[in-house]
Each structure stands twice: as C-alpha cells, then as structure tokens.
C-alpha cells in the first residue's frame, strides 16, 4: 500500500493544513504529470497515485481511514466489525426512529451536524494520542453519520 502522506511529503498526522496539502499536490503534479514527463503507462500510474493521494488526504473521513490502514487497521471491514460499538448501534437506531417521525427535519439536521463535529473532534484527539481502537470506532461512527446524511436528504 502507498503511504499518501509520504508520497506528497507531508507529516503522518490527522491534522492537515488543506492549503499546504494543495501546494504540495500541485508541486508534485508539476513534477510528475504525464504532460511534463511523457505519456507512458507508468507516468499515468504516478499521476493517478498523486490524484488519489490528494483526494484521500483532503477528505477527513478518507484521511482517517488511510491513517488507520497505515497502522494495519481496516476500520470498515466487511462482516462482524470489531469497531462497531453497541453504543453506536443503539444511537443509530434512535436517530433513524427520530427521522422517521420528524415533522421538522431542521432539528434532525442540526443534531447531525453537532454529532459530526463531535466525532471529527474525537478522531483528531484519538489520532494525536495514537489511540487507534478509539479512532477506528469513531471512524465507524462517522461512516454511519455520512450514510445518515443521505437518508436525511431523501427524507426532506
């Protein structure tokens, strides 16, 4: 697996300065883009890797998953997922019920935004202290919240 942080010359942390990420990405593209080095399959692969690195590190959810993967943790594995907590199952059940009964979706939306912010905060803290299990659990929660955002949009 490619270490996208290393590929773009960034420190392996969850906290990423998006402006700096963009500068690093653009610089790498200036160096390695097929337009600059010729249109071989290898150059294309390199360009593709840079694009994937940028897309992964730009998005907090994908970035968190990648950080965990670098620790050998697959937070989103199929089948029985050890990082899905009973608490998340219970909360997701209640949130879906609330959405089904809601007349005013804005309340649900506000609650969703608050939970997302709190979860991102939890991921950042866990990453800082290298508490990988907690971080993986928070990533599963964020995955649910992303799915739930779609359900809210369809409900409205």
Question: Exactly one of 3, 6, 9, 36 binds other proteins (CB under 8 A); which one?
Answer: 36
44 binds other proteins (CB under 8 A): yes
Question: Exactly one of 4, 54, 61, 144 binds other proteins (CB under 8 A); which one?
Answer: 54
| Among 134, 111, 23, 156, residue whose Cα is nearest residue 8 | 23
Buried (b) or exposed (e) across 85-122, using 16+ Cβ within 10 A?
Answer: eeebeeebeebeeebeeeeeeeebbeebeebbeebbeb
41 binds other proteins (CB under 8 A): yes
Shortest CB 44 distance to other proteins, Å:
4
26 binds other proteins (CB under 8 A): yes
48 binds other proteins (CB under 8 A): yes
Instruction: Report how far residue 156's alpha carbon sits from residue 142's, in angstroms, rounded to the nearest whole number.
Output: 21
> What would the two tokens of residue 54 be?
């940028």
Torsion angle of the four alpha carbons 51, 121, 93, 80, in this order, in degrees rounded to the nearest 10:
60
Question: Exactly one of 14, 16, 29, 134 binds other proteins (CB under 8 A); which one?
Answer: 29
Q: Which stretch binds other proteins (CB under 8 A): 35-43, 67-75, 82-90, 125-133?
A: 35-43
- Chain positions contacting other proteins, by CB under 8 A: 22, 26, 29-30, 33-37, 39, 41, 44-45, 47-48, 51-52, 54-55
């Amino acid at each position: 697996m490619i270490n996208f942080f290393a590929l773009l010359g960034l420190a392996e942390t969850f906290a990423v300065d998006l402006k700096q990420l963009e500068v690093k990405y653009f610089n790498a593209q200036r160096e390695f883009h097929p337009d600059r080095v010729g249109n071989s399959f290898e150059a294309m692969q390199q360009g593709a890797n840079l694009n994937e690195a940028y897309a992964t590190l730009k998005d907090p959810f994908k970035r968190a998953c990648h950080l965990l993967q670098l620790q050998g943790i697959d937070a989103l594995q199929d089948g029985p997922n050890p990082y899905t907590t009973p608490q998340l199952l219970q909360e997701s059940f209640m949130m879906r019920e609330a959405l089904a009964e809601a007349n005013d979706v804005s309340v649900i939306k506000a609650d969703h935004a608050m939970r997302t912010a709190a979860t991102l905060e939890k991921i950042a803290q866990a990453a800082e202290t290298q508490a990988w299990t907690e971080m993986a659990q928070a990533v599963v929660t964020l995955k649910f919240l992303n799915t739930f955002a779609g359900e809210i949009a369809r409900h409205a």
